[in-house]
Amino acid sequence: MTATKTGGPVAARAEEIWKVYGSGEAQVTALRGVSAEFGRGRFTAIMGPSGSGKSTLMHCLAGLDTVDRGTVHVGGTEISNLGDKALTRLRRDRIGFVFQQFNLLPTLSAAENIRLPLDIAGRKPDPQWWETVITTVGLSDRLAHRPSQLSGGQQQRVACARALIGRPDVIFADEPTGNLDSRSGAEVLSFLRSSVREHGQTIVMVTHDPVAASYADRVVFLADGAIVDELADPTAETVLDTMKRLDTQTDPVML
Amino acid sequence: MLRATLKSLLARKLRLILSGLAVVLGVMFVSGALVLTDTLNRTFDSIFADAYAATDVAVTAKPALEISELEGEEVPAPLPAATIDKIKTVSGVRDATGRIDLDGARVIAADGKVLTSFGPPRMGVNWTGVDDIMEMRAGRGPESDDEIAMNAATAALSGWQVGDRVPVLTREPKKMFTLVGVWAYTGGRDSLGGVQEVAFTTPVAQALMLGEANAFTSVVVRADDGVTPAQVRDDLTTALGADYQVRTGEELAADSAAGLQEGVGFFNQILLGFAGVALFVGIFLILNTFSIIVAQRTRELALLRAMGASRNQVIGSVMVEAVIVGAVAAVLGLAAGIGAGAGLGYLFSTMGGSSLTLAPVGVPLSAVISAFVVGIVITVIAAVLPALRASRIAPIAAMQEVATPDRPLTKLTVAGSLVTTIGATALGLGLFSDTGDTTIWLIIGGALVTFIGIALLTPLISRPVVSLLGRLFSWSLPGRLGRLNSGRNPRRTAITAAALMVGIALVTGVTVVMDSAKSSLKAEVARVLKAQIMISGDQAGPRPPTYDPAVIDEAATVPGVRAAAGVYHDMVQIDGEQRYVNATGDLATLAQAYGTTAPTLTEDQLAVSAENAAAWGWQDGRTVTVQASRGEPHTYTVAHLYPEGALPGSIILPAGAIKDFAITQPTIGYIRLDDGVSVSAVLPQIKALVADSPEVTAVDQQTFVDDQAAGFDQIIMMIQILLGLAILIAVLGVVNTLALSVLERTRELGLLRAVGLNRSQTMRMITVEAVVISVFGALLGVTVGAGMGSAVTRALENDGITELVLPWPRMATYLALAALVGVVAAILPALRAARLNVLGAISHD
């Protein structure tokens, strides 16, 4: 089985999506008919070894990459057939991003970086929500600083705040703790989890760190471009066990 | 090491090509100039070799004044007919023919306009039959005094055909002739070198061209069989004595060609000036590119150092890149230069409707050598600083993530101030003190050094100015981001802007001087000139327009005219110095027409401006000896001093001098009306009087002043071409800088696109960055140019440029142009940024 479903409302959905890179001998099939649903207000982690297709899956869900076959829906909109203009709008208004490499603009202050998606759209932040976000990420006294004056953890918290500020349908986080020490990583992850628990934000996070995955409500495991397992309410131990088990199997398990 | 260098060179070829283009342009102008000169020189050689093919030996009388080709045509002294008889008695002479060939036979074309020429003379000759290199196209040679023939080029340009009545201007006013024949030259050529020729019978040619009966300008000698021309030349020299110049046909051809080739040198200098600007600006671009490349290769170079490469090897690696770029640019520039030389040669050969048969385009060795020397040397010079910087990269940089630290600008600013001061001092010395021959070099060198100094100061200036400029665009987010980006790397922004500054500063400076001169001239003329109507024309080519002197006498009798005076013009030698002089029928009348008073001069008196008299030490009553273009020297007493500008010109000779002038017709006329008489009432009558002198028209004072000032506008036009070139190069610089910015900020761009910046917003962001940089450069250029122009203008205050005019509209235009340049330069980098693959860009490192 390569499909995974959740009960309740869906924020993003992939149906039978295929993604093939290159051609001829260099051809690599990154996704082979993946179907998955990501529930609204849920924190989902996508795990898998390198080359399993987890990043590709996220990129396709986020409208950063196109699928070769199958459909992707974000918040009820099918995005697999949208052009660049519509995709840009979608990213701007309905999707938030947190990247491994913080990816802040060095010319802008922390506050300006957080406001960037709204500024691009020409919208004003809701003052109340702004206060909430700033307080939650604990950056009130750092707002005028440039990224170069912030620590890695602070930068990533700015990036998280930037993703949250527009209240997108989904936030996609790509290895958000990959470049952080464990303490800063824990801060960022707690912050992401609390935004789900307290504000009903939907988050999809790609990671290869079992500890990071344990912050999620649910973990989806990928191997060789297909979903091979999933866990609800994971702990670091159960995630690690599942991964070990998957490592020893040569073929994808059928669930 | 070499292999690593070559690999990295290939990886960056596009960027190097962009900056190399400036060198390509510079080399193109240098080699283009050399190719053009070479082609034209060979063309002239072959023209004159043909023209004198039928001449074994030519005899001319030594001219009264020896003038170089650049200053005007020499007027040969008349050679009495008796000399021909004497020549015929010399042994070895088979045959001797008296020839008249003088510039100044101006055909009035079928459309009523005088045929003009932009270089080749308009010859009036005597008909001596069809010789070896001529062939009749139609009709025959002139036989009676009212008949003429003309060469095919003249016939084609004028539209006249055999049988037509043709008006011709000569020493005399307009005369009518019947065209009886058209000739051409062997090989189907309509003319030799585009020269217009009209042939009269010998007595008519003597009267109308030479002004002397029974005389010639040269004698063409054919030698007996078996006698060499050189032998005849030597015999004739002995027989005729020192008053005559005896040359073989070959010598004559070489001398004539050399005279024209001197004129071509001027062309050459313009092209070399263009080359200088292109290369100077090019240095900025290459310096910038290499700096960026070195910065980007920091890790790579550090790795090489860590693995044991020496500092010198690192320097060498950058230098090898420079040499290769320079050599490639030289090859491309040479190819473009050959094309440009050929193109300009073609333009030159067809200029003003003339039909010059161009020699085949060749590539002189000098063009090849200078292309490579210029291309490689310039590139290497520009790469020296970046290479030194590269060599200072510490090996440890390979192991660390080194953020390029924002080095303080203190050193740069100190150096910049110092260099600017040196440059400005040299400029000031050149302008305001008497430094003799070194003046021009002090000015040019001072200007260049000042440019470099200001370029060094630019990073410091760029911060406040760029941020201020950027505020204009900050109303939208893409604009704000663009503004912030343009302030991110002050060094790079500065050097890119500095490249644009140089061109715009040059043009603004010249424009300031020209506009000031123009305005001063207008004010001065308006102040002193009381004449309400002027007779004058536009000069096209070396010969000034002239008119029938009878017009002045007739104008004086028109009711309402108080005084009318014609002015004649020539270059003469006074006590060994060449000077421009005027002459007029009666100085008192001229003074009255001009709006002042002066006595009538006797035949042995002259008037001089008080200022020049003081400079030359000509106190009242002193005698000076004047040698005009022809005739004997004449001694005059300084009889009248006038304030500069109160009368036209600086020296005025009496009526008797006119007959010895090269051109014996007035070139300009001043007419003053009685009080209360309106100009519009008299002007039509004066216009009617000059109807038969189509080279000139009668104009009112305003038109006259505007016409006089038009020359300055032409210089400004010329200099705008230079602006175009400088802007072209600067565009390359801006494109280069932006392309690099886009590359360096790939990840940022990816992020912006990921969080929702759409393509057109991305393009707008890049465009704003480009516009801010180029407007900053233009602002600098306009400021520096206005400063330099004002300094030059102030320095020329004593030379009559009394007003300082800052050309605000033009300066605004340059700024607007710079904004446009920014937009154009941003197109490609912006497209590239907009088309970035979001995913690829985000994970880019």
The mean-pLDDT minimum among B7-21, B107-121, B275-289, B501-515 falls in B7-21
**CA-nearest residue of chain A to B485?**
A107
Residue B664: the pLDDT is 87
Phi (first) and psi of residue B649, to 5 degrees: 80, 175
With an 8 Å Cβ cutoff, is B752 touching chain A?
Answer: yes
Residue B334: the pLDDT is 92
Q: For chain B, what is the mean pLDDT?
A: 84
- End-to-end CA distance of chain A, in Å? 6
Cβ contact A64–B838 (<8 Å) = yes
Q: Nearest CA to CA, how far is A247 from chain B (Å)?
A: 27
The percentage of chain B sitting over the pLDDT mark of 90, rounded to a whole number, equals: 16
State the average pLDDT over residues B197-215.
Answer: 90
Contacts of B842 in chain A (CB under 8 A): 64, 99, 101, 103
The residues near B196 (Cβ < 8 Å, ≥ 6 apart) are: B105, B107, B115, B117, B120, B121, B122, B123, B150, B151, B153, B154, B157
Three-state secondary-structure class, residue A52: coil
Q: A with B: how many residue pairs have Cβ under 8 Å apart? A: 69
Cβ contact B758–A85 (<8 Å) = yes
Token output for B9 = 């060179």
Q: Please answer whether residues B417 and B457 qualify as being in contact, where contact means their C-beta atoms are separated by less than 8 angstroms.
A: yes
Q: Please answer whether residues A168 and A94 qualify as being in contact, where contact means their C-beta atoms are separated by less than 8 angstroms.
A: yes
Pairing between β-strand B134-139 and β-strand B244-248 as defined by DSSP bridges:
unpaired
Cβ contact B755–A106 (<8 Å) = no
Q: Nearest CA to CA, how far is A100 from chain B (Å)?
A: 9
Per-residue pLDDT tens over the stretch B87-102? 888 888 888 899 998 8
What is the CB neighbour count within 10 angstroms for residue B577? 9
Which of B751, B760, B835, B839 to substitute to test the interface with A, most A CBs within 10 Å?
Answer: B751
Per-residue pLDDT tens over the stretch B692-712? 888 888 988 888 888 878 878
Number of helices (H), then strands (E), belonging to chain B: the values are: 23, 23
CA distance B661 to B582: 10
Does the predicted interface ipTM exceed a cut of 0.85? no
Q: Nearest CA to CA, how far is A105 from chain B (Å)?
A: 6
Three-state secondary-structure class, residue A122: coil
Residue B149: the pLDDT is 95
Q: Nearest CA to CA, how far is B768 from chain A (Å)?
A: 15
Contacts of A104 in chain B (CB under 8 A): 751
Question: Does an H or E element contain B421, and which?
Answer: helix B410-432
Cβ contact A89–B756 (<8 Å) = yes
Cβ contact B755–A97 (<8 Å) = yes
| Chain centroid to CA A167 | 14
Residue A242 lies in a domain: yes
Q: Nearest CA to CA, how far is A154 from chain B (Å)?
A: 18
Q: Nearest CA to CA, how far is B423 from chain A (Å)?
A: 36
The residues near B510 (Cβ < 8 Å, ≥ 6 apart) are: B715, B716, B719, B789
Residue A254: the pLDDT is 45
State the average pLDDT over residues B228-233.
Answer: 88
Contacts of B753 in chain A (CB under 8 A): 88, 91
Distances (CA, A) of B386 to B50, B340, B373: 56, 33, 21
Phi (first) and psi of residue B631, to 5 degrees: 80, -170
Three-state secondary-structure class, residue A29: strand
Residue A67 lies in a domain: yes
Which of A55, A65, A90, A120 to substitute to test the interface with B, most B CBs within 10 Å?
Answer: A120
**The pLDDT of residue B357 is above 90:** no
Cβ contact A93–B757 (<8 Å) = no
| Chain centroid to CA B410 | 42
Task: Give the CB-side neighbour count of residue B115, counting CA atoms within 13 A.
Answer: 33
Distances (CA, A) of A245 to A208, A248, B65: 15, 6, 110
Residue B178: the pLDDT is 95
Cβ contact B756–A101 (<8 Å) = no
Residue A70 lies in a domain: yes
**CA-nearest residue of chain B to A117?**
B755
Supply the DSSP symbol for B77.
Answer: B
Phi (first) and psi of residue A64, to 5 degrees: -90, -20
Residue A5: the pLDDT is 59
Q: Please answer whether residues B45 and B609 qualify as being in contact, where contact means their C-beta atoms are separated by less than 8 angstroms.
A: no
**The pLDDT of residue B403 is above 70:** no
The mean-pLDDT minimum among B40-44, B168-172, B350-354 falls in B350-354
| CB-nearest partner of B754 from A91, A107, A148 | A91
| CB-nearest partner of B756 from A92, A101, A108 | A92
Per-residue pLDDT tens over the stretch B110-140? 888 888 776 678 899 999 988 888 899 999 9
Which of A79, A116, A179 to substitute to test the interface with B, most B CBs within 10 Å?
Answer: A116
Residue B782: the pLDDT is 92
Contacts of B754 in chain A (CB under 8 A): 64, 91, 97, 103
**The pLDDT of residue B648 is above 60:** yes
Closest by CA position to B374, among listed B286, B307, B440, B264: B286
Cβ contact A91–B752 (<8 Å) = no
Residue A204: the pLDDT is 93
Residue A92: the pLDDT is 83
CA distance B632 to B626: 9
**The pLDDT of residue A55 is above 50:** yes
Token output for B121 = 């003379």
What is the CB neighbour count within 10 angstroms for residue B351? 14
Q: Across the beta sheet with A28-39, what order do the strands follow?
A: A3-4, A28-39, A10-21, A69-74, A77-78
Q: Nearest CA to CA, how far is A248 from chain B (Å)?
A: 31
Cβ contact A64–B754 (<8 Å) = yes
| CB-nearest partner of B753 from A65, A88, A93 | A88
CA distance A251 to A253: 6
Residue B257: the pLDDT is 81
Contacts of A91 in chain B (CB under 8 A): 753-756
Token output for B744 = 């360096």
Contacts of B488 in chain A (CB under 8 A): 106-107
Highest mean pLDDT among B358-367, B607-616, B792-801: B607-616
Number of structural domains chain A divides into: 1
Identify the residue with better confidence: B337 or B282.
B337
With an 8 Å Cβ cutoff, is B839 touching chain A?
Answer: yes
Give the Cα-Cα-Cα angle A158, A164, A165 (nearest 5 degrees): 90
Contacts of A106 in chain B (CB under 8 A): 488, 748
Res. B52 pLDDT band, cuts 50 70 90 = confident
Residue B22: the pLDDT is 75
Identify the residue with better confidence: B149 or A48.
B149
State the average pLDDT over residues B472-486.
Answer: 80
Cβ contact A88–B759 (<8 Å) = yes
Per-residue pLDDT tens over the stretch A171-225? 999 888 888 888 888 988 988 998 899 888 999 999 988 999 999 999 999 988 8
Cβ contact A107–B488 (<8 Å) = yes
Q: Please answer whether residues A1 and A254 qualify as being in contact, where contact means their C-beta atoms are separated by less than 8 angstroms.
A: yes
Ordered by start, the domain boundaries in chain B are: 48-261, 452-526+704-845, 538-695
Identify the residue with better confidence: B512 or B482.
B512
Per-residue pLDDT tens over the stretch B770-811? 888 889 999 999 998 998 888 888 877 777 777 888 888 888
| Chain centroid to CA B688 | 37
Residue A215: the pLDDT is 93
Cβ contact A97–B754 (<8 Å) = yes
Report, in angstroms and rounded to the nearest whole number, the Rg of chain A calculated over CA atoms.
18
CA distance B345 to B563: 49
Contacts of A148 in chain B (CB under 8 A): 403
Cβ contact A88–B488 (<8 Å) = no
Token output for B440 = 């021009």
The mean-pLDDT minimum among B12-16, B17-21, B758-762 falls in B12-16
Residue ranges with strand state E in A23-94: 28-39, 43-47, 69-74, 77-78
Per-residue pLDDT tens over the stretch A128-171? 989 888 888 888 888 899 888 888 888 888 998 988 898 888 99
Contacts of B838 in chain A (CB under 8 A): 64
Output the domain CATH number for residue A220.
3.40.50.300
Contacts of B750 in chain A (CB under 8 A): 103
CA distance B82 to B72: 29
With an 8 Å Cβ cutoff, is B747 touching chain A?
Answer: yes
Provide the chain B residues 454-513 that lie in CB contact (below 8 A) with chain A. 477, 481, 484-485, 487-488
Number of helices (H), then strands (E), belonging to chain A: the values are: 8, 11
State the average pLDDT over residues B237-265.
Answer: 81
The structure tokens 């761009």 sit at B749
Residue A254 lies in a domain: no
CA distance B59 to A172: 99
State the average pLDDT over residues B149-161.
Answer: 91
What is the CB neighbour count within 10 angstroms for residue A120? 24
Closest by CA position to B342, among listed B81, B39, B774: B39
Burial class (CB in 10 A: 0-12, 13-18, 19+), A203: buried
- Could you give the residue ranges of the DSSP H alpha helices within B170-297? 202-205, 229-240, 249-296
With an 8 Å Cβ cutoff, is B86 touching chain A?
Answer: no
**The pLDDT of residue B398 is above 90:** no
Closest by CA position to B257, among listed B86, B74, B111, B69: B69
| CB-nearest partner of B756 from A59, A88, A148 | A88
State the average pLDDT over residues B579-589.
Answer: 91
Cβ contact B748–A97 (<8 Å) = no
Residue type, A244: K
State the average pLDDT over residues B198-209.
Answer: 93
The residues near B343 (Cβ < 8 Å, ≥ 6 apart) are: none
Cβ contact A99–B752 (<8 Å) = no
Distances (CA, A) of B531 to B526, B594, B691: 10, 5, 21
Provide the chain B residues 758-777 that lie in CB contact (below 8 A) with chain A. 758-759, 761
Residue A225 belongs to what domain range? 3-248
Q: Nearest CA to CA, how far is A254 from chain B (Å)?
A: 32
**The pLDDT of residue B231 is above 70:** yes
Phi (first) and psi of residue B510, to 5 degrees: -65, -40
| CB-nearest partner of B755 from A85, A91, A148 | A91
Q: Please answer whether residues B115 and B155 qualify as being in contact, where contact means their C-beta atoms are separated by less than 8 angstroms.
A: no
**The pLDDT of residue B233 is above 80:** yes
The structure tokens 């270089």 sit at B119
Give the Cα-Cα-Cα angle B826, B24, B326 (nearest 5 degrees): 110
Contacts of B748 in chain A (CB under 8 A): 103, 105-106
Residue A253 lies in a domain: no
Contacts of A84 in chain B (CB under 8 A): 758-759
